Structure 1
Amino acid sequence: MICCLNPNCKQPLNPPGRKVCQNCGSKLEPLLRNRYRVIKPIGQGGFGRTYLAADRDMLNASCVIKQFSVQSQGTQSQEKAIELFNKEAYRLHELGVHPQIPTLLAYFEQDKRLYLVQQFIEGQNLYQELVQQGVFGEEKIREVLRDILPVLKFVHERQVIHRDITPTNIIRRKNDRRLVLIDFGIAKQITESTASLPGTKIGTEGYAPLEQLRNGQVFPASDIYSLGATCIYLMTKEKPDSLYNPLNGQWIWRDYLRKKGSDVSDNLTQILDKMLKDWVNERYQSADLVWQDLNVVGWQTATPKNPTSAKPSTATPPPTSARQPAPNPGVSGSLNINKTPVATPVAPGRSIRRPITPPPVSRQPNSNSAKRIWRCINTLNGHTSWVMAVAISANKQVIASGGLDDQIKVWSSQTGELLHNLSGHTKAVNSLTISPDSLILVSGSDDEKIKLWNLHTATLMQTLTEHSRDVNAVAISPDGQILVSGGDDRTIKLWRLKNGLPIRTLFASAGMIKAIAIDPKGDLIATGGLDNQIKLWKLATGELVNTLYGHFNSVYAVAFSPDGGMLASASKDKTVKLWNTQTGELIRTFSGHTGYVNGVQISPDGQTLVSASSDKTIRIWRLETGELLSTLSEHTSAVNALAMSVDGQLIVSASSDKTVKIWQGFG
C-alpha cells in the first residue's frame, strides 16, 4: 500500500503503483525523502498526522513520522513555524539521549510540510493497559511514579516542560517493561505562536493545570500536576475533572475509591493531593521532592501531616540510567535559562572583536600546543540558522562557514569582516574544505551537489552532480589534485579537482557516509558513518585496507595525526577514539563529553586533540595520555564542526547558536 501524505485525506491508503491518491488526487510519494516508506496513519491532530513508517536505510526498522502542515498559514507564520520547528527538533535531539525518551532520528521540510522522524517505541500506552488489565492499585501507581519521576527530573534540569503528560503519552516498552515518555509537543510549540487568540489552549483538559489552560504559563510543577492527574485516572478510570469538588476546592478521588471498595495509604493520598494543588506554589516544585515523599520508610503506617517535611531514614535520589548524561541545565530547550554570558547583539554580517589579552603565562622557547591556553578572540555573526561546517585556508587569511540557511559565508580571519556570501546551494551546506593553495573552496550539500568556488573572485567554478543523496563530507588530498566526497547514497567518490572529472567510486554498503579525511602523506582515505565503523582505503587504488570497530554509534568526524600514524574518530556515542592506522589497534578512548561528538582535529605538532560536541563545549586533550587539558564553553548551543590552522595557533568552531567562533592559543 502507498499512503497519501495529505493530512486532510479521508482515505489515505492506496494500492501499490498509483501515482496520485484515489481519494483526494494528491501526488503520492513511494518514499518520503527517498528513504522512509510510510505505512499508515496512527494519529491525527490539527497540525497534521502521525504515521508509522519503515526506514529503508536502517534495514526497514520501524519509526514514527510526525507531519506538521504550514501550508495554510501566511508567509510570516510559515517562517515562524519553521523557526520553532527547528528549535524544538534540537530540543528533542538533546532529550533523546535519555533511555526513556524516544530518540530523534531526522527532521526536514518537504512540500511545505515539516517532518520529524522518531524512534518507534513498541508497547502499549497506559490507557491501553488500563482498558485491558483494569484499574491500577497502589503498588502499580507507585511503580509509575518511580519510573517517570527520574525522567521528569532529567527533562526539567534541562529547562524543558513537557506540558502534556497523559496516560496516552506514557508507553510501557515491550522489551524491558520500562515506561517511556513520548510527545514532547513540537505541534504545541508551533501552534503556541497563535496562543494569544481567544479560545486557544495548550494541553489536555483534565490533565493540564489552570495556569496552563488560562494563559499558557508552565512550570516544572505543571508537569507534576499532570502526572498526578494521570495517576488519578489510572486508579479510577474516571476523568480527573469529575473527581474534583469546585464548591470547596477539594479532590474527592479517594472517596470515590472507597465507594468502589478500594483504598490507598494516607502517604500516597497526601502525595497526590499535593501534586494536584490549584496554586502552583503549593505543589511540589521538583520531581526530587515527590521522590523523597514517595520513598518515606514505613509509608504503610505513617501518616505525616506534611509530607514535604518528613525526613526519610533512607533518602534515595531518583536513579540515573547509564545512558543518561550528567545534569546540564544549559542545554537548549523551549524554556532555556542559559547561564553562559550572552554577547551584545550585533547586526548580521558583523563580528564581535575582542581585545586579545594573553593569559598570565610566560612564553617558553620550546612551548607546544599542550601548554597553550585558548581564548575566543572573535565571534562571527550572520548566519540565520545552525552553522554545520567550517574551514580555514592554509594561508590563514580566510574562514568559510556554511549551514542550514543554505548559505556559505567567507570571512577575514584577521578582522572577522564578511568578505563574500556565496549563494547557489538550495539546501543545507554540510561540509567545506579549502585546497592547499588556498584558491578553491569545495562545499557539499543536502541538495546532492558539490560546488567548487574561486575564493578570490567569489565565483562558482563548477557543480558536481553524481551523488544521488545528501553530500555530507568533502576532503582534498595534500597535493591538491584529488577531491574525495561521501554522502547518504553510501558512496565515496574521487574526482580530479582541476576539472571535476570522476576517477572512481567506492561503495560502503553498510551505512551512509558522514566523515572523510585524507592522511598527510596522501596514501589513505578514512571514512566514517552510520554503520559505527571507520574504513581505511588506499587513495591510489580504492582498495579497502582495514575496518576499525569500537564505536557503539555513528561516526561523525575523523582526523589523521601529522605523520599519518594515528587516526582520531568522533562519534554519536559521546567518545573520541584514537587508532593506529598501520595495525588498526585502538590506542585509547577520550571520554567526558555529555553529548554527541561532532568534530575532531589533531594539532600539527601532534601534541593535542581537539573535540567538539553537542554538549556545547570544545575540549582540548593531551594526545599521548588522554588527559583533559581545558574546556572551551562559550557557545550557547551544540558545536557542530571544527577547523584548525596549519600552524595550530587558531581553532575555528561552528555552532547551532548560529555563530562561528575563532579561538587563539596563547603560551
Structure 2
Amino acid sequence: MICCLNPNCKQPLNPSGRKLCQSCGSKLEPLLRNRYRVVKPIGQGGFGRTYLAADQDMLNASCVIKQFSVQSQGTQSQEKAIELFHKEAYRLHELGEHPQIPTLLAYFEQEKRLYLVQQFIEGQNLYQELVQQGAFSENKIREVLRDILPVLKFIHERQVIHRDITPTNIIRRQIDGKLVLIDFGIAKQITEGTASQPGTKIGTEGYAPLEQLRNGQVFPASDIYSLGATCIYLMTQVKPDSLYNPLNGQWIWRDYLRKKGSNVSDNLTQILDKMLKDWVNERYQSADTVWQDLNVVGWEPATGKNPPPVKPTPVTPPASVPRKPATNPSISGRLNSTKTPVSPGRNIRRTITPPPASLPPNSNSAQRIWRCVNTLTGHSSWAMAVAISPNKQVIASGGLDDQIKIWSSQSGELLHSLSGHTKAVNSLTISPDGLILASGSDDEKIKLWNLHNATLMQTLTEHSRDVNAVAISPDGQMLISGGDDRTIKLWRLKNGLPIRTLFASAGMIKAIAIHPKAVLIATGGLDNQIKLWKLATGELVNTLYGHFNSVYSVAFSPDGEMLASASKDKTVKLWNLKTGEIIRTFSGHNGYVNAVQISPDGQTVISASSDKTIRIWRLETGELLFTLNEHTSAVNALAMSIDGQLLVSASSDKTIKIWQGFG
C-alpha cells in the first residue's frame, strides 16, 4: 500500500504502484526525503495528520511522522508557521533527551508541507490499558505519578508546558514498562514574562484547567491539574467533568469510588484534590512538591500496608537508534536528519578582544582561561562536525544543511562552501599535511577534497548506510571510517582503494580515533562499548565496558596510554589502555556528551554536550576547571589545534565558535 499525504484526503490508502491517489487525485510520494515510507495515518488535527512510517535507512524501523500543512496560508502566515515549526523542532530535540519522551529523529520540508519525525513508542497508552485491565488501583495510580512526575519536572525546568496530559498521551513502553509522555504538538514555551499572558485556548476538555480553557494561560500547575484529572479517570473510568459538583465547587470522585466499594487513602485523596484545585495558587506549584507529599512517611493506605517512601532514580533508556545529533541529541547525539529549509545566512563574525597576555605554546593547559574570540555563522542548520588544519590557519565545518564550509581561523572569513553531499555531513578530518579534507555523510558516502583549491578529488562508496565517523592516520597514509552499517573500513588515502573491513555486529559505529603511534583503532557506538582493534591486522584486541548508553566520541591521550570516551549516559570516562580499567569518570553534564578531546599536553579533558556547554577538566584529578556556555543549543563537535592553543566547537545553534586559551 502507498499512503496519500494530502491531509484532506478521505481515503488515503492506495494500492502499491499508483502514481496518483485514487481518492483525491494528489501525486503520491513513495518515500519522504527518499527515506521514510508512510504506512498509514494514525491521527488528525488542525495542523495536518500524524502517520505511522517505516525508516528505510534503519531496517524499516517504525517511526511517527507529524505533518504540518502551510499551503493554504498567506505568505506572511507561511513564514510565521515555518518559524514556529523550527522552534518546535528545537524544543522537541531538547526534550527528547529525557528517556521518557520520544526522540526527535528529523525535521524537514517537502512539497510545501513541514514534517517532524519522532521515535515510535511500542506499547499501549493508559486509556487502552484501562479498557483491557479495568480501573487502576491506588498503588497503580501511585506508580503512574512516580513515573510521570520526574518527566514533568524535566520539561517544566526547560520552561515547557505540555498542555495536553491525558490517558491517551501517556504510553507504557513495552520494552521496559516505563511510562512515556507523548504528543508535544500543542506544548508551549513560557518565560517569566509570558506565563500569565493570554494565549491560545487549547487542550482536552475535562483534563485542561480553567485558566487554560478560558484565556490560554498556562503554568506548571496547569499540567499538574491535567495529571490529577488523568488519575481520577483511571481510577473511576468516568470522565473528570462528571465527578465535579459545580454547586459547591467540590470533587466527588472519592464518594463515587466508595459507592463502588473502593477506598483510597487520605494521603492520595489530599494529593489529588490539591492537584485539582480551581485556583492556580492553591494547587501544587511544582512536580517536586507533589512528589514530596506522595512519598511522605507514615501515610495509611487503603490496603493497610505502608509501602516505604520511594526516591526518584535516574532512568537508563534502552539502547536505541539516537537522533543526530546523538546527540545526546540531542543532537545531543546526532539527528538522523536531512537539511533544514532555512535560507543560508551570511558570514557574520563577532570578535572578543582577548586579554593582553597569551600563554606560550608549552604552557600547562590546565592553567588556561578560555575565551570565545570569534563566532562564525553561515550554516543554515545545525553544525555537526568541525576540523582544524595542522597549521591552525583553516577550519572546516559541516552540518545538517549538507554543506561543508571552509573558514579562515584568523579572520573568520568564509573561504569556500563545498557542495556535493546530498544529506547531512556528520564528520570531518584533515590530513597531517593539511592537503586533504575527508567528509562522512548520511548519504552513505565519504568525499575527499583538495583543501587548497576546494575541489572534489574522490568519492568513496563502500558503506551501505550513514557514515558517522572518519579519521586519518598520523602518517597520512590511511583513512578509517565507520557508520550505521556496523562496519569500520580502512582505505588508502592516496588513491581511495579499500584495504579491509572490520565488522562490529553489535552496534552502529558513531566514533573513531587512531592511536598516536598508529598501533590501535578505537571505536564506539550504539552497543555502549568501546572496541580496540590492531590497525595493522584488524584484530579485535579488547572491548571496554562501563558506559550505560551509546558512545559518541573517543580520543587517545598524546602518549597513547589512555583513552577518553563520551557517551549518551552524560558522562566522560578515562580508560587505562594497558588494563582496560576505568581510571575515572567525569560527571557534571546535564545532557548527552557528544564530543571529547584530550589536550596535546595531556593535562586536560575537554567535553561538549547537548546541555549547551563545553567543560574543561583536569585529567589527573577529574576537577572541573572551566565551563564555556556561550552556545545557545547543543554542542555537537570539537576540534583542537595541535599546539593546544585553539579550540573550535560546532553547535545546533548553527554557529562555529573559536576559543583561545589565555593566561
Q: TM-score, normalised by structure 2?
A: 0.79
| Distance across 1 between alignment mates of 2:242 and 2:577 | 68
Q: CA 1:54/1:429 → structure 2, altered by over 3 Å: closer, same or farther?
A: closer
Once the two structures are superposed, the pairs formed by residues 387-402 of structure 1 within 5 Å of their partners are 387-402=383-398
The corresponding residue for 1:352 is: 350
| Distance across 1 between alignment mates of 2:224 and 2:104 | 28
Contact 2:93 2:329 in 1 (8 A): no
How far off is 1:402 after superposition?
A: 1.8
Contact 2:464 2:485 in 1 (8 A): yes
The corresponding residue for 1:452 is: 448
2:543 maps to 1:548 = yes
2:517 maps to 1:521 = yes
The corresponding residue for 2:322 is: none
The corresponding residue for 2:65 is: 66
The corresponding residue for 1:436 is: 432
Once the two structures are superposed, the pairs formed by residues 146-545 of structure 1 within 5 Å of their partners are 146-173=146-173, 178=178, 180-186=179-185, 201-244=201-244, 251=251, 253=253, 268-294=268-294, 319-321=312-314, 323=316, 348-357=346-355, 367-541=363-537, 543-545=538-540
Contact 1:233 1:239 in 2 (8 A): yes
How far off is 1:226 after superposition?
A: 0.9
2:566 maps to 1:570 = yes
How far off is 1:117 after superposition?
A: 3.2
* SS of equivalent to 1:370: helix
How far off is 1:234 after superposition?
A: 2.8
The corresponding residue for 1:633 is: 629
How far off is 1:662 after superposition?
A: 1.6
Q: CA 1:143/1:500 → structure 2, altered by over 3 Å: closer, same or farther?
A: closer
- Superimposed CA distance per residue, residues 599-631 of structure 1 (whole angstroms, 9 cap, x where no aligned partner): 111221222221211222222233344443333
The corresponding residue for 1:117 is: 118
How far off is 1:154 after superposition?
A: 2.7
Amino acid across the alignment from 1:479: D
Q: CA 1:39/1:459 → structure 2, altered by over 3 Å: closer, same or farther?
A: closer
Contact 2:162 2:187 in 1 (8 A): no
Q: CA 1:174/1:500 → structure 2, altered by over 3 Å: closer, same or farther?
A: closer
Q: CA 1:14/1:366 → structure 2, altered by over 3 Å: closer, same or farther?
A: closer
Identical positions, percent = 78
Identify which range, 371-380 or 286-295, moves more after superposition.
286-295
- Superimposed CA distance per residue, residues 619-656 of structure 1 (whole angstroms, 9 cap, x where no aligned partner): 22333444433332332221110000010111111112
| Distance across 2 between alignment mates of 1:287 and 1:538 | 51
| Distance across 2 between alignment mates of 1:72 and 1:364 | 59
- Superimposed CA distance per residue, residues 122-153 of structure 1 (whole angstroms, 9 cap, x where no aligned partner): 3x433233334444455554444344333322
Q: 1:648 aligns with which of 640, 644, 649?
A: 644
How far off is 1:121 after superposition?
A: 4.1
| Distance across 1 between alignment mates of 2:375 and 2:522 | 31
* SS of equivalent to 2:285: coil
| Distance across 2 between alignment mates of 1:549 and 1:298 | 45
Amino acid across the alignment from 2:651: S
The corresponding residue for 2:616 is: 620
The corresponding residue for 1:194 is: none
How far off is 1:413 after superposition?
A: 1.6
How far off is 1:382 after superposition?
A: 3.0
Q: CA 1:111/1:540 → structure 2, altered by over 3 Å: closer, same or farther?
A: farther
Identify which range, 428-437 or 528-537, moves more after superposition.
528-537
Q: CA 1:80/1:579 → structure 2, altered by over 3 Å: closer, same or farther?
A: farther
Contact 1:410 1:421 in 2 (8 A): yes
Q: CA 1:142/1:117 → structure 2, altered by over 3 Å: closer, same or farther?
A: closer
| Distance across 2 between alignment mates of 1:479 and 1:103 | 43
| Distance across 2 between alignment mates of 1:263 and 1:574 | 43
Contact 2:552 2:593 in 1 (8 A): yes
Q: CA 1:545/1:417 → structure 2, altered by over 3 Å: closer, same or farther?
A: same
Amino acid across the alignment from 2:181: I
Identify which range, 73-82 or 461-470, moves more after superposition.
73-82
| Distance across 1 between alignment mates of 2:4 and 2:504 | 33
- Superimposed CA distance per residue, residues 364-392 of structure 1 (whole angstroms, 9 cap, x where no aligned partner): 99732233232222222333322111111
| Distance across 1 between alignment mates of 2:544 and 2:48 | 41
* SS of equivalent to 1:149: helix
Higher relative contact order (CA 8 A, sep 6+): 2
The corresponding residue for 1:342 is: none
* SS of equivalent to 1:420: strand
- Superimposed CA distance per residue, residues 8-49 of structure 1 (whole angstroms, 9 cap, x where no aligned partner): 66666778x8677996686575x8778878776554445555
| Distance across 1 between alignment mates of 2:522 and 2:259 | 70
Q: CA 1:289/1:627 → structure 2, altered by over 3 Å: closer, same or farther?
A: closer
* SS of equivalent to 2:160: coil
Q: CA 1:141/1:511 → structure 2, altered by over 3 Å: closer, same or farther?
A: closer
| Distance across 2 between alignment mates of 1:22 and 1:471 | 36
* SS of equivalent to 1:396: coil
Contact 2:473 2:514 in 1 (8 A): yes
Give the unaligned 5+ runs of structure 2: 190-198, 302-306, 318-327, 331-344
How far off is 1:282 after superposition?
A: 3.6
The corresponding residue for 1:596 is: 592
Identify which range, 505-514 or 246-255, moves more after superposition.
246-255
* SS of equivalent to 1:651: strand
Contact 1:596 1:614 in 2 (8 A): yes
| Distance across 2 between alignment mates of 1:494 and 1:27 | 41
Q: CA 1:215/1:544 → structure 2, altered by over 3 Å: closer, same or farther?
A: farther
Q: 2:556 aligns with which of 549, 555, 560?
A: 560
* SS of equivalent to 1:130: helix
Identify which range, 573-582 or 612-621, moves more after superposition.
573-582
- Superimposed CA distance per residue, residues 194-227 of structure 1 (whole angstroms, 9 cap, x where no aligned partner): xxxxx97532122122333344432101101211
How far off is 1:548 after superposition?
A: 1.9
| Distance across 2 between alignment mates of 1:601 and 1:233 | 51
* SS of equivalent to 1:202: coil
Q: CA 1:458/1:37 → structure 2, altered by over 3 Å: closer, same or farther?
A: closer
How far off is 1:401 after superposition?
A: 1.6
Q: CA 1:300/1:241 → structure 2, altered by over 3 Å: closer, same or farther?
A: same
The corresponding residue for 1:336 is: none
Q: CA 1:561/1:239 → structure 2, altered by over 3 Å: closer, same or farther?
A: same
Q: CA 1:494/1:177 → structure 2, altered by over 3 Å: closer, same or farther?
A: closer
| Distance across 1 between alignment mates of 2:176 and 2:448 | 50
| Distance across 1 between alignment mates of 2:548 and 2:255 | 52
Contact 1:125 1:168 in 2 (8 A): yes
The corresponding residue for 2:106 is: 107
| Distance across 2 between alignment mates of 1:28 and 1:421 | 31
| Distance across 2 between alignment mates of 1:365 and 1:526 | 28
* SS of equivalent to 1:637: coil
* SS of equivalent to 1:151: helix
| Distance across 1 between alignment mates of 2:404 and 2:392 | 18
How far off is 1:485 after superposition?
A: 2.7
The corresponding residue for 1:304 is: none
| Distance across 2 between alignment mates of 1:298 and 1:539 | 62
Q: CA 1:9/1:486 → structure 2, altered by over 3 Å: closer, same or farther?
A: farther
Contact 1:432 1:444 in 2 (8 A): yes
* SS of equivalent to 1:521: coil
